[in-house]
């Protein structure tokens, strides 16, 4: 039986990949992925055959993986972060229903929320939500409802895809919704280029976040009502009692 | 300057650790952790000095790490999954304010939501929340409000700590809250012992989940309204159009 591994390569830095992900990439025949991600791993697995498709060609990329696997080759389809969080595993399993002879296995990775949290301090120690601000595949009303409900229940919130050329004011709009329930002093943070060249983080208030420019390489963190700034880091307490 | 790495070792299996985590554990002087997690890694780093504290001694464990680091030793404090998700990084940064000469760096890992999702299929492809059902450090009203709001906004939901000896009926109560907004046919899944001996998963409906026995080694996944069962796996679509 042919096999496709859907592999989360983590934020980008080779060391942030799991040992299993690296072993799968070492042992497979072909590595398939979005051009940018393939470029991130290429130097470490230079003896492999690589196949790439550009952005917005996700369905084609998945079908390509199954076609190559049908030729008795072991395929690794790579995703940045984790393949199961806004990644390709779902589509691979949907399309895989048409290829019953090909097994699909997901290799978990460090998604941007987890990798970015490690850079910022400890923003996600307590209950939190991930929300993507991209309305390319999701109705904007659904995104707004999720922002509203998550804020009202005092969740920590991580925003994926906070901005793009067409959606330059989406973060501001999202902050306005969150400000209905969260204090303007809520501790927030942004991380750019997690685990890559130019990694950068900043801790700020929700009021400041509202007027902050972000791009598609930014992950945005909004604290809960207990989140604090400690020595420049963003820290959400779990609730342990400290005897001081 | 002395340094403490707070290291997420992933679900348990050595291969699911990141390369960076393994490198840090190889290069540090002392590994500190909860007894159970130290036992998971001991065989791979047998030349190290190990120090353990039992459960519910989290504050003591963190202080121990700082005391050891004060003796000019490089310390790795290990957590299962990721150290930033219901883990020790927050407490380390809070206590660290008293030890300005000791640097704390977090090494990200694969948390149970991510590791479990890879086993179940692709339940977390779209917006989701993590909620811990443990009311040891969190008022139960806050947990219930989060369950309610997350369900009303059609989030995928991952439950950590779904049960314990004292809280044997908490999953049932949580399901009753979610059933106010989610259909009883909502696709759900459980994973036991992710990445460890005895790993086991099952896909079921929310109605069935309500009457399912779980334990402290179970992670529970509740789908959104679009989540499907495909060939026994739990799959949440992102929304890509498939031409069939």
Contact check, Cβ <8 Å, B149/A145: no
Whole-Å CA distances, A164 to A111, A206, B43, B219: 20, 20, 47, 34
- What is the reported pLDDT for B165? 83
Confidence of residue A243 (pLDDT cuts 50, 70, 90): low
Closest Cα in chain A, distance from residue B71 (Å): 22
Q: What is the pLDDT of residues B194-227, one digit of tens each?
A: 989 899 999 999 999 999 999 989 999 999 999 9
- What is the reported pLDDT for B243? 63
Q: What is the pLDDT of residues B30-87, one digit of tens each?
A: 999 998 889 889 999 999 999 998 777 889 999 999 999 999 999 999 999 999 999 9
Mean pLDDT of A170-191: 98
Best of B8, B41, B55, B90 to mutate (most A CBs within 10 Å, chain A):
B90
Contact check, Cβ <8 Å, A16/B108: yes
More confident residue, A128 or B52: A128
Contact check, Cβ <8 Å, A238/B124: no
Cα–Cα distance measured from residue A35 to residue A50, given in angstroms and rounded to the nearest whole number: 10
When the pLDDT of each residue in chain A is averaged and rounded to a whole number, the result is 95
* Closest residue of chain A to B89, computed from CA coordinates: A122
Which stretch of A37-46, B52-61, B95-104 has the lowest confidence by average pLDDT? B52-61
Checking if the pLDDT of B104 tops 90, the result is: yes
* Closest residue of chain A to B13, computed from CA coordinates: A20
- What is the reported pLDDT for B57? 84
* Closest residue of chain B to A94, computed from CA coordinates: B230
Q: What is the pLDDT of residues A66-110, one digit of tens each?
A: 999 999 999 999 999 999 999 999 999 999 999 999 999 999 999
Checking if the pLDDT of B244 tops 60, the result is: no
Is B113-235 in the same CATH topology as B2-110?
no
- What is the reported pLDDT for B239? 86
Is the distance from CB of B142 to CB of B177 less than 8 angstroms? Answer: no
Overall size of chain A counted in residues: 244
Chain A residues close to B82, C-beta within 8 Å: 110, 114, 117-118
Confidence of residue B240 (pLDDT cuts 50, 70, 90): confident
Closest residue by Cα to residue A12 from A221, A194, A161, A192: A194
When the pLDDT of each residue in chain B is averaged and rounded to a whole number, the result is 95
Cα–Cα distance measured from residue B94 to residue A205, given in angstroms and rounded to the nearest whole number: 19
| Facing B118 at nearest CB: one of A107, A118, A122 | A107
Closest Cα in chain A, distance from residue B50 (Å): 23
- The 3-class secondary structure across A157-170, one letter per residue, is EEEECCCCCCCCCH
Torsions phi, psi for A211 (to 5 deg): -105, 20
Chain A residues close to B142, C-beta within 8 Å: 153-154
- What is the reported pLDDT for B225? 98
Closest Cα in chain A, distance from residue B148 (Å): 9
Mean pLDDT of A176-204: 96
Which stretch of A6-15, A195-204, B130-139, B159-168 has the lowest confidence by average pLDDT? B159-168
Provide, rounded to the nearest whole percent, the portion of chain A with pLDDT above 70: 99
More confident residue, B125 or B244: B125
Which stretch of A191-195, B56-60, B61-65, B149-153 has the lowest confidence by average pLDDT? B56-60
Best of A9, A17, A57, A125 to mutate (most B CBs within 10 Å, chain B):
A125
Mean pLDDT of A189-213: 96
Chain A residues close to B233, C-beta within 8 Å: 93
Q: B2-110 belongs to which homologous superfamily? A: Tetrapyrrole methylase, N-terminal domain (3.40.1010.10)
Topology of domain B113-235 in CATH is 3.30.950
Q: Map out the domains of chain B as residue ranges.
A: 2-110, 113-235
**ipTM given for this complex:** 0.96
Strands of the B2-8 sheet, one edge to the other = B49-53, B30-34, B75-79, B2-8, B102-107
| Facing A238 at nearest CB: one of B90, B121, B127 | B90
Query: How would DSSP label each residue in A173-237?
Result: HHHHHHTTTS-TT-EEEEEESTTSTT-EEEEEEHHHHHT----TTEEEEE--TT-EEETTEEE--
Closest Cα in chain B, distance from residue A136 (Å): 9
- What is the reported pLDDT for B36? 87
Q: Reduced to 3 DSSP states, what percent helix, strand and coil does chain A have, rounded to the nearest 5?
A: 30, 25, 40
For residue A9, list its beta bridge partners.
none
Cα–Cα distance measured from residue B93 to residue B7, given in angstroms and rounded to the nearest whole number: 14
Domain A2-107 has CATH 3.20.20.20: no
Checking if the pLDDT of A60 tops 80, the result is: yes
Closest Cα in chain B, distance from residue A71 (Å): 22
Is the distance from CB of A223 to CB of A156 less than 8 angstroms? Answer: yes
Cα–Cα distance measured from residue B182 to residue B235, given in angstroms and rounded to the nearest whole number: 17
Q: What is the pLDDT of residues B12-23, one digit of tens each?
A: 899 999 999 999
Cα–Cα distance measured from residue B223 to residue B127, given in angstroms and rounded to the nearest whole number: 10
- What is the reported pLDDT for A204? 98
Checking if the pLDDT of A22 tops 60, the result is: yes
Topology of domain A112-235 in CATH is 3.30.950
């Amino acid at each position: 039986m042919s096999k496709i591994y859907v592999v989360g390569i983590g934020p980008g830095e080779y060391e942030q990949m799991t040992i299993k992900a690296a072993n799968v990439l070492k042992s497979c025949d072909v590595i398939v992925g979005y051009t940018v991600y393939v470029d991130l791993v290429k130097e470490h697995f230079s003896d492999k055959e690589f196949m790439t498709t550009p952005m917005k060609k996700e369905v084609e990329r998945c079908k390509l993986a199954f076609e190559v696997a049908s030729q008795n080759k072991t395929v690794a389809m790579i995703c940045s972060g984790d393949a199961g969080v806004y990644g390709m595993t779902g589509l691979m399993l949907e399309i895989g229903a048409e290829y019953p002879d090909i097994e699909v296995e997901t290799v978990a990775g460090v998604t941007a929320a987890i990798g970015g949290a490690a850079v910022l301090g400890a923003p996600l120690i307590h209950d939190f939500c991930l929300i993507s601000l991209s309305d390319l595949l999701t109705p904007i009303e659904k995104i707004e409802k999720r922002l509203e409900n998550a804020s009202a229940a005092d969740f920590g919130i991580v925003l994926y895809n906070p901005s793009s050329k067409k959606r330059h004011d989406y973060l501001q709009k999202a902050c306005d919704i969150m400000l209905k329930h969260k204090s303007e002093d809520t501790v927030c943070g942004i991380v750019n280029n997690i685990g890559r060249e130019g990694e950068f983080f900043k801790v700020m208030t929700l009021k400041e976040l509202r007027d902050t420019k972000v791009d598609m390489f930014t992950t945005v963190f909004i604290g809960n009502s207990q989140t604090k700034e400690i020595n420049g880091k963003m820290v959400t307490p779990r609730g342990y009692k400290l005897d001081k």
